[in-house]
């Protein structure tokens, strides 16, 4: 198959949470263990950092990769979801996995995937681990897809586990309290492997402490240890917490492993995350006059920080290009948005996208007024036409809205 044909098969023939939502969620690791055994256990050949969390795990993973690259290591990076190209999920030193490798992997193993009902995410994890092992990288940064305990990535034994923070997201799978969600994410804590916690609350800290104790794992609360951070080219307000998490993780690596980094590596790596890794969609500026910002924040925890940062900007009129997926808790999210803004409601172009008319109707209940557009691009075009040079345009509500603009 050609690369487009391979992607079409990956996206449309098997369950894919990014597109379908709940129907694609697997509730055990049986398939992943079966896949690893079939592939010859590539995960056992990797030195890894495992990164979980409600928000910030993507940014933190890219920061870690950037710093380790600056230290001269060959760094594999597995993240999800992708914005524009599936291959963004699997990189070595910022370079996307070759199309040919993706095609050959699927062609070679397709019969096994179909016979064992492998999900899109399970196959993607298998592809990443197989690629990293074959390329003999030095270290891999592995981002959890969702949760932790039952995530397909949770077959690795890492050098250090990282949990950025806990917020109320994916509650239909992970639980509807912070403690319950923390317990799921704490499922990546392994026996005698140190764990770094980025942020915690009175509800989540006891869960982390108890799980770490049960696993004889040393736990480090980055927010209590790291007082100052270095500047980064990732400039969203929320990155201050991610930088602390990353710096504490690098400190643990220096203490427990052969992967050594210096203060210079930290400074340079944090300042060149986008250049080194290709990360996009985190408080990314698309225009200056009017100022246009896109961000992938999509839940209460992430959006509250982003929306607060917007209010600290200088502008005459605020414009929101807003779209969400259909499992979003709008009663939690919509009250965060300001009423004194013009809204351009749209639907991300995926099966999970919520119809713009439904979003607009719900938003009106919270005093958010605007018009409905038949696509993200149409909403974006209208906003840029309407906005004056002194205005501010924000694009977000969903990773998939940002992806369409980028």
pLDDT of residue 98: 98
Residue 11 pLDDT grade (very low, low, confident, very high; cuts 50, 70, 90): confident
Quick check: 20 pLDDT over 50? no
Any idea what DSSP says for residue 52? E
The angle subtended at Cα 147 by Cα 406 and Cα 32, nearest 5°, is 95
Mean of per-residue pLDDT scores for the chain: 93
Average pLDDT over residues 110-138: 95
> CA 336, CA 343: separation in Å to the nearest integer?
14
Residue 328 pLDDT grade (very low, low, confident, very high; cuts 50, 70, 90): confident
Backbone phi, then psi, for 92, in 5-degree steps?
A: -125, 120
pLDDT of residue 17: 47
Token pair listed for 82: 């992708």
pLDDT of residue 13: 59
Q: Tens digit of pLDDT for each residue in 140-192?
A: 999 999 889 999 999 999 999 999 999 865 555 565 789 999 999 999 999 99
Q: Tens digit of pLDDT for each residue in 196-233?
A: 999 999 999 999 999 999 999 999 999 999 999 999 99
- Which of 4-18, 29-43, 86-100, 106-120 is the least confident region? 4-18
Give the length of the chain.
406
Cβ-Cβ contacts under 8 Å for 288 (sequence gap 6 or more)? none
Residue 21 pLDDT grade (very low, low, confident, very high; cuts 50, 70, 90): very low
State the alpha helices, DSSP H only, in 86-234. 99-115, 120-134, 171-174, 178-185, 205-214, 222-225
Selection from 216, 167, 153, 196 nearest residue 64 by Cα: 196
Token pair listed for 345: 């409601």
pLDDT of residue 367: 97
DSSP string for 177-205: SHHHHHHHHGGG--TT--EEES---TTTH
> CA 314, CA 310: separation in Å to the nearest integer?
9
Q: What is the pTM of this model?
A: 0.92
Quick check: 329 pLDDT over 80? yes
pLDDT of residue 319: 98
> CA 94, CA 68: separation in Å to the nearest integer?
12
Q: Tens digit of pLDDT for each residue in 258-296?
A: 999 999 999 999 999 999 999 999 999 999 999 999 999
In 47-80, which positions are buried (b, 16+ CB within 10 angstroms) versus exposed (e)?
A: bbbbbbbbbbbbbbbbbbbbbbbbbebebbbbbb
Backbone phi, then psi, for 389, in 5-degree steps?
A: -60, -25
Q: How far is CA 20 from CA 13, 119, 186, 351, in A?
A: 12, 12, 26, 6
Residue 316 pLDDT grade (very low, low, confident, very high; cuts 50, 70, 90): very high
Quick check: 18 pLDDT over 80? no
- The continuous run of DSSP H or E covering 313 comes out as none
pLDDT of residue 301: 84
353 in Cβ contact with 374 (< 8 Å): no
pLDDT of residue 302: 87
> CA 271, CA 267: separation in Å to the nearest integer?
6
């Amino acid at each position: 198959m050609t690369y487009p044909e391979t992607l079409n098969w990956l996206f449309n023939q098997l369950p894919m949470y990014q597109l379908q939502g709940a129907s694609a969620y697997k509730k055990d690791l049986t398939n992943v263990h079966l896949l690893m055994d079939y592939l010859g256990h590539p995960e056992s050949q990797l030195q890894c950092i495992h990164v979980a969390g409600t928000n910030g795990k993507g940014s933190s993973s890219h920061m870690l990769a950037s710093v380790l690259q600056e230290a001269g290591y060959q760094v594999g990076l597995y993240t999800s979801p992708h914005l524009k190209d599936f291959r963004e999920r699997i990189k070595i030193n910022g370079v996307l996995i070759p199309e040919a490798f993706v095609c050959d992997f699927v062609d070679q193993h397709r019969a096994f995937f179909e016979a064992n009902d492998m999900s899109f995410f399970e196959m993607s994890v298998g592809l990443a681990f197989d690629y990293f092992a074959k390329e003999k990288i030095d270290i891999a940064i592995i981002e959890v897809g969702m949760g932790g305990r039952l995530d397909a990535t949770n077959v690795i034994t890492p050098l250090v586990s990282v949990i950025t923070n806990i917020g109320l997201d994916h509650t239909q799978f992970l639980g509807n309290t912070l403690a319950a969600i923390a317990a799921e994410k704490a499922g990546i804590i392994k026996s005698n492997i140190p764990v770094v916690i980025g942020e915690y609350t009175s509800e989540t800290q006891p869960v982390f402490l108890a799980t770490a104790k049960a696993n004889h794992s040393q736990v480090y609360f980055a927010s209590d240890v790291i007082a100052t951070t270095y500047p980064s080219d990732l400039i969203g307000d929320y990155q201050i917490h991610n930088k602390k998490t990353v710096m504490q993780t690098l400190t643990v690596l220096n203490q427990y492993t052969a992967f050594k980094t210096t203060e210079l590596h930290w400074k340079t790596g944090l300042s060149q995350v986008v250049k080194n890794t290709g990360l996009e969609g985190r408080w990314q500026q698309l225009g200056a006059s009017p100022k246009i910002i896109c961000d992938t924040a999509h839940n209460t925890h992430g959006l509250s920080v982003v929306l607060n940062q917007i209010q600290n900007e200088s502008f005459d009129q605020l414009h929101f290009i807003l779209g969400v997926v259909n499992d979003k808790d709008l009663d939690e999210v919509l009250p965060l948005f300001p009423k004194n803004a013009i809204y351009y409601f749209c639907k991300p172009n995926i099966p999970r996208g919520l119809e713009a008319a439904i979003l607009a109707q719900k938003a009106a209940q919270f005093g958010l007024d605007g018009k409905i557009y038949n696509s993200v691009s149409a909403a974006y075009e209208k906003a840029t036409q309407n906005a004056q040079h002194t205005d501010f345009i924000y694009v977000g509500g969903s990773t998939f809205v940002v992806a369409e603009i980028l």
